[in-house]
């Protein structure tokens, strides 16, 4: 689960959803315009995940990411993130 394990270095994913202060429309536009990120997250969205869930799911499936820092400001954000985490725990 570590990137460059021979150097004992890990990757921390922060703001996997472009930060809480970015309006939803801007998040979609930024993500779709990112030639590196969009192809990685798009399959999660095609499986029916919301944009925040897709971003979190992708970061959890990425073996290069050792740790994720996920901020949640509203109850619905907690519920969305919890759903992805519950699924990951049920399907290791």
Mean pLDDT of 43-66: 84
**Model pTM score:** 0.69
Regarding beta strands 12-14 and 67-69, do their DSSP bridges make them parallel or antiparallel, or are they unpaired? parallel
**Could you tell me what percentage of the chain is helix, strand and coil, using 3-state DSSP and rounding each to the nearest 5?**
50, 5, 40
Cα(66)–Cα(63) distance, integer angstroms = 7
pLDDT tens by residue, 10-36: 888 887 766 656 676 777 787 788 887
Number of domains in the chain: 1
Mean pLDDT of 70-88: 83
Structural domain boundaries, residue 74: 5-90
At residue 81 the predicted structure's pLDDT band, cuts being 50, 70 and 90, is confident
């Amino acid at each position: 689960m570590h990137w460059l394990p021979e150097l004992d270095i890990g990757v921390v994913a922060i703001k996997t959803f472009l930060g809480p202060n970015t309006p939803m429309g801007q998040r979609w536009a930024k993500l779709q315009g990112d030639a590196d990120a969009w192809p990685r997250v798009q399959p999660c969205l095609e499986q029916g995940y919301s944009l925040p869930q897709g971003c979190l799911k992708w970061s959890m499936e990425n073996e290069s990411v050792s740790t994720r820092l996920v901020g949640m400001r509203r109850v619905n954000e907690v519920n969305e993130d919890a759903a992805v985490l519950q699924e990951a725990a049920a399907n290791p």
